[in-house]
Amino acid sequence: MGKGAIPFDHPLHGGLAAGYFGDTVAVKLVENADVVLAVGTRFSELGTGMWSLPIRGRLIHVNVDPNDIGRNYKTDLAIISDALEFLNTLYDRVKGKGPGRDRGIKLINEVKASVGNQQLRELGYDESRINPSDLVRALSHVIDSDMREGKAIVTCDAGGNQVAMFELPVYKPRTYFNPAGFTSLGFAIPAAIGAKVARPDATVVATTGDAAFFMTGMEIATAAELNLKVAFVIFNDRAQGVLKLQQRLLYGGKVYASHTYPMDFCKFAESLNIDCVRISDKKELEDGLDKCIYGTNKPCIADVLVNPDAVPTPITRQLMAIFGKR
């Protein structure tokens, strides 16, 4: 998804242009552009908000795989190239030319002003419970310093937790891994273990759902055997959240076979002689995450009980766009 290629707080960072799932400012910038230069993207279903990203201008599509060119969006100019090689060549050609960064900063600020405050609360948000946005926000606060310095690695999983994690601020490349291509359920846990082996000094956090945990959770035994200090944060909503939501929308609220078995993740951690924290109170969220990520020398599971009725913010944005709900 390219998050981290440009720091989240850079003045030329417009946001995540993922259609309905993305930031309103970023989507508007793409929609209003005369020319869109897309580098190293497949325009996947998730990365474009189910192909809702509006590209009105001419599209220059750069990708190393020719099979991805023009597959989902009409391309005006196709360039088959490695992304880094292309960008280095382009930089050499345009260096010192053009209107400069001030024009880009001004444009982004103008779009931000026209859009206004787009803070959106999830459908089904409950002040008395931990909602997905609360968990993402708390996690970003806890690991903020390491994320800004490139000392943290976050892996995401498929499902509602994956879309919720679109909101995580990222500042450095190769610090955020979200399986937005094939959306492989169970990706986060083994990916985090691999990241810790590759970068043993990094703060590594896997974010996953309880359903995704059932796919690859036993891999945590490897982390226990190797004593890899990885935090496994579970968005525990006791369901296959996206499937449950789709059923509610498509079948008049009827939900069938989309709930998960209420596993005791801390008992599982105990069986592996690793640490675990269970968090059900919003007031304990940041302290609990901090304890799991930084307060132990063992692998740790954070079993976070999240509101099962809250719809992650990007999906809320999608539903409001489709159904016009306010």
What are the tens digits of pLDDT across the range 139-166? 999 999 999 999 999 999 998 899 899 9
Say if residues 164 and 312 touch (Cβ distance below 8 Å). Answer: yes
CB neighbour list of residue 181: distance below 8 Å, 6 or more residues apart: 42, 44, 46, 47
DSSP 3-state assignment of 175? Answer: coil
What are the tens digits of pLDDT across the range 220-232? 999 999 999 999 9
What are the tens digits of pLDDT across the range 234-253? 999 998 888 888 888 888 88
What are the tens digits of pLDDT across the range 164-200? 999 999 999 999 999 877 788 999 999 999 999 999 9
In the chain, what is the straight-line distance between the N-terminal and C-terminal CA atoms, in Å?
29
Give, as one character, the DSSP assignment of residue 316. Answer: H
Q: Is the pLDDT of residue 325 over 60?
A: no
Q: Is the pLDDT of residue 326 over 60?
A: no
Report the pLDDT averaged over residues 196-219.
97
Name the pLDDT band for 118 (thresholds 50, 70, 90).
low
Q: Is the pLDDT of residue 317 over 90?
A: no
What are the tens digits of pLDDT across the range 254-308? 888 888 888 999 999 999 999 999 999 999 999 999 999 999 999 999 999 999 9
Q: Is the pLDDT of residue 97 over 90?
A: no
Report the pLDDT averaged over residues 42-60.
92
Say if residues 306 and 281 touch (Cβ distance below 8 Å). Answer: no
Higher pLDDT pick, 320 / 33 = 33
Percent over 70 (pLDDT), the chain:
98
Largest CA-CA distance found in the chain, in angstroms, rounded: 62
Q: Is the pLDDT of residue 94 over 80?
A: yes
Domains in the chain (CATH in brackets) are 19-115 (3.40.50.1220), 132-318 (3.40.50.970)
| Count of alpha carbons within 13 angstroms of residue 90, beta-carbon side | 13
Structure confidence at residue 1 (pLDDT): 63
Among the residue ranges 69-73, 183-187, 189-193, 317-321, the one predicted with the least confidence is: 317-321
Name the pLDDT band for 201 (thresholds 50, 70, 90).
very high
Name the pLDDT band for 324 (thresholds 50, 70, 90).
low
Q: Is the pLDDT of residue 67 over 90?
A: yes
Q: Tokens representing 102? A: 């001030």
Structure confidence at residue 257 (pLDDT): 86
207-to-6, 157, 298 alpha-carbon distances in Å: 22, 6, 17
